Structures are given as structure tokens and as C-alpha cells.
Chain A
Amino acid sequence: MGRQRFSPEVLASEITPPEVWRERRRVIQTGVAALAAAALPGPAGAGHGGRRLAFRPAPAAFRTDEPPTPFKHVAGYNNFYEFGTDKYSPAERAAGLRTEPWSVTVEGECEKPGAYTLEDILRPHPLEERIYRLRCVEGWSMVIPWVGFPLAGLLKRFAPTSRAKYVEFTTLYDPEQMPGQRRRVLDWPYVEGLRMDEAMHPLTLLAVGLYGEVLPNQNGAPLRLVVPWKYGFKSIKSIVRIRFTERQPLTSWMKASPREYGFYANVNPTVDHPRWSQARERRIGEFFKRKTLMFNGYAEQVAHLYRGMDLRRYF
């Protein structure tokens, strides 16, 4: 498959030499210190050892004013089974993940399929900081200041056809780098998906950073999805493939346990996991559990997507 580039002003045959894109990548990922400093001081105040990103704060609608979960927990307590099923394993074992070079294959029902470098993916999109709640299906939650850009803008660039009803995402499969994949706890590689209107929703984010810095590997570097009104497992990490499909994708958790995990996985306190209640959650850092909100508190923005649907059936 031919490599395809994206800027309309540039000929498709023109391929950027590696030394040039490496330098561009350095600029993008390092950010310009001055720019980062000029960005409104949000929770991304103190450094955490990662490369700084240049970004602007998102509009208020995309920033909860709840206190963000401390960085050490956001980057230390992760479900990323590619690095082991224990929540502390990813932070311990993800250091060896090589995030550059990185490329994303785009396929399926679109007019511009191809293999895109991370630079191709990122270049046209200004980064913004969004502070979202994250609710894990296991019953705990966090508040995370992500840095990223809306998925919609990226998907439009690939010109999905009228047959594209869903988008499927795939995580890197490489047991050498991802030791958790040597055991088949899930059917690797990890696959997730969204309905097209969910994917195009302004809340849906592609994140490249958190707390103002490049994503730590254990949080799904270099590119991950963030869908704040769905359980955390929908927000797939370390994406290497985006595929537009006519049929609903079969996701990893649906394959692992179809009775327990559905395609939608919307946060819903009234529809329980078959084995445990979803009515409450423990916010990391808090003592008692709190009530879980419908669509994780984003009902106003997303409830219309599911109007008329039986959410007990489409869980």
C-alpha cells in the first residue's frame, strides 16, 4: 500500500525525508517552552518529567471544574492489559514501548486510506487541554487533564464514504514490547469501536498528552482515544489502525465476555454489570464512594445520540 500524505498543497508523491520529519516531530512533541508557558496555567503547572506540549485551554464546556486526580495516580494506576492485568504493571513495564517512529493505518470505507505517520496525523490539529471525568467499568473514577484534539477533525480528513457507519480502532500488537500480550487474557490485538455519530461528537478526543506533557507510555502513548461518557475500556490506547466499516465492529471485551460487555458501554448507573452494581464509584483520592452520573455527567451533550434506544439492551 502506498504511503499517502495529507496536506492538499503537497503532491502525493512527495515524501518527507526522515531527518525532516524527525525534526518536525521534535518540534511538535517538545512544544515550544514559551508557548506552553504562555498557555493558561491549568493543572498542568508543575512538570512531571515528560516533554512539554504547546496547547490552549479548551472552552469551558470541555473542562470540568472538579479537582484533577494527582498525576502520580493518573500515570501510576492503569488498566492496560498489554502490560499485565495488575494496575501497577503498566507503569512498571511500559517504558520499553517505542512510540517513534509511529504510524497509523487508515482503511475501509473512506476515500483516503493509507499509512500515515504520527506527524501526518497531528500536523493540522491545534492541541487543547480538556479536563474530563473518566469512569472505569470496575467502579473507580478519575478527573484527567488531557491534551489532544477532537477526533471528528481527523476523521473528516480521510473522507469517509456514506457506507461508513462505524469506526474501528486497533492497538499495537507486539508481544516483544508489550509483555502482557504473551498471555492470551484477551484476543489480541485490542479492538474498540464507535458508531460514526459518537466518533464525530465534539466531546470525543484523540489525546497525545496529559498534565501538559506527552502521554506517558502507560497511558496509551503516543495516540489514544478518550470518550468521556463511556466506560474507560472504550478509550483505546496506542492506536495503530483506524478502519471505517459498515458493520458494527466486534470489540475485544465483547469477544471476551459478550454477556458482560456490550458495544456501547455508556456509563449508566441504572444498568448494572451482570456481576456488580454500577450505581456508585470511588473517585481516586476519596474515602467514600459517590453516585455515578448518567453518561458520566455528560448526559446533556450526548443523551440525544441514544434517543429511542433501550439502554438495557444496548449496554
Chain B
Amino acid sequence: MRGVNRFVWIRLAVWLACLAPLLWLAWGLARDRLGANPIEVFTRSTGEWALRLLLVTLAVTPLRRLTGWRWPQRLRRLLGLYAFFYATVHLASYLWLDQFFAWAEIGRDILKRPFITAGMSAWLLLLPLALTSTRGMMRRLGGRWKRLHRLVHVAAALAVLHFFWLVKLDVRPPLVYALLLGLLLLARVRWRPVAVGRQHDS
């Protein structure tokens, strides 16, 4: 019972921590504390938080294998859904505040600009993952669920590319994300044979 109670608190803390950046941005917008170009800050920050949370989600499995902890596993869906939530706010802010729902122009943008193509694709790949994140869908899809959810690796790579291609000159920030993602993906490649050697992985 005590263990369960403690986990409820951890879950609540993570839930609030994930919401905090959005609250901070909303407060900043309302109080005019986001500098000269607040909309740009809002769009960029929500995008960056989507990417950060995606990487945190991807860190859950290597972390469990490294430490043997099982509890982060139980936060993975929450983290993944928050990543999708920020990606959706990011996309909405582009559609509404940047383009004001000019669909023809948006369509052209998606086809013509590699960085928007990459970003849009990343979101589209995350969409089915969010929709199939319920326990019911996990049960219904069985083994296919895991295969489907490997798309998250592709989505993360596209998200990093999206960031890389929009930078004017200083590529250091997207490079940091590319490096982190590379590490997280490598951690999987390195761990799989070990798991196979043990016959099963848990």
C-alpha cells in the first residue's frame, strides 16, 4: 500500500512538472515577459519541450536496463503523451498564429519546406501512437503494438532534423539534441543482444 501511495505522488509530481513549461509560457504571454517576439518564443519553446519530453520518454528503457529500476516504466505513457501534447500545441501555434489557417499556403509550406515536411511528418507519426496509448488498444493490438510504437524513434529523428533545418546559422542547439538522441538510440542497439542472450528481457 505504501509503495502504491508513494507512486501516486511521483506520478502527480511528474504530471505537474510536465505541465509547468506551458504554465510558465502562458504566464509569460499574459504578463508580457517573453521579450520582443513572444509568439516566436511560444512556438519555439513548445517545440523544444516536445523534443525534450520525447527524449525523456526514450530514456526510460535504457534507464531501466542500466539501473534495474522498474518505476520509470510506469511513467512512460504519461511522458509520451505530454510530448505529443507539446508537439500539438507547437503545431497549432504554427497553424493559427503563424499562418492563420491559410490552408493552401500551409499545404504548400509542408510540401516545399523540408523543415516543415520533417516537423509535420514527426507529428503525424506520433498521432497513431497517442491514439493507441490506452490499455485497451495495447491489449487489442498485442504484438503489433510494440512494432507500431517503434515509430517513436523515427518521429524523434524527424523532430531533430526539423530543428536542424530551421536554424539560420548557429547549429549548436539542434546538435545537442541530435547527440542525445544518438546516444539513446545507441543504448538500445547495445542492449538488445544482451537481452537476447538471456533468453528473455525481464
- Please list the residues of chain A having a beta carbon within 8 angstroms of any beta carbon in chain B: 72-73, 76-77, 81, 85, 87-88, 138, 140, 185-186, 256-257, 272, 275-277, 279-280, 282, 284-285, 287-289
Contacts and interface: CB of A to CB of B under 8 A. Distances in A.
Contact of A140 (B40, B100, B105, B112): B40
Nearest to A85: B170
Given A186-B169, A275-B115, A287 B39 contact: yes
B100 A284 contact: no
A277 B113 contact: yes
Interface size on B, as a range, is 20 to 34
Contacts of B166: 275-276
Given A185-B170, A288-B100, A289-B100, A275 B35 contact: no
Given A186-B169, A275-B166, A284 B36 contact: yes
Given A275-B113, A275-B115, A288 B97 contact: yes
A73 B37 CA distance: 9
A284 B115 contact: no
A68 to B, nearest CB: 13
A77 B36 CA distance: 6
B114 A275 contact: yes
A185 B113 CA distance: 24
- Where chain A touches its partner, the secondary structure class is loop
B113 A280 contact: no
Nearest to B168: A138
A77 B168 contact: no
B37 A77 contact: yes
A282 B114 contact: no
Contacts of B113: 275-277
Contacts of B35: 76-77, 87-88
Interface string B73-102: 000000000000000000000000111100
A282 B170 contact: no
A174 B98 CA distance: 38
Interface string B39-59: 110000000000000000000
Contacts of A282: 37, 39-40, 98
A158 to B, nearest CB: 33
Contacts of A185: 169-170
Contacts of B37: 77, 87, 140, 282, 284
B165 interface: yes
Contacts of A280: 98-99
Contacts of B168: 138
A140 B39 CA distance: 11
A137 B123 CA distance: 27
Given A87-B37, A277-B112, A287-B97, 10 more contacts: A85-B169, A85-B170, A186-B169, A256-B169, A272-B112, A275-B165, A280-B99, A282-B98, A284-B36, A284-B37
Nearest to A81: B169
B162 to A, nearest CB: 11
Contacts of B115: 275-276
Contacts of A186: 169
20 contacts: A81-B169, A85-B170, A87-B36, A87-B37, A88-B35, A138-B168, A140-B37, A140-B40, A272-B112, A275-B114, A275-B165, A276-B115, A277-B113, A280-B98, A280-B99, A282-B37, A288-B97, A288-B100, A289-B98, A289-B100
Contacts of A284: 36-37
Interface string B95-124: 001111000010001001111000000000
A122 to B, nearest CB: 30
Contacts of B105: 277, 279
Nearest to B105: A279
Contact of B36 (A76, A277, A279): A76
A280 B97 CA distance: 11
Contacts of A289: 97-100
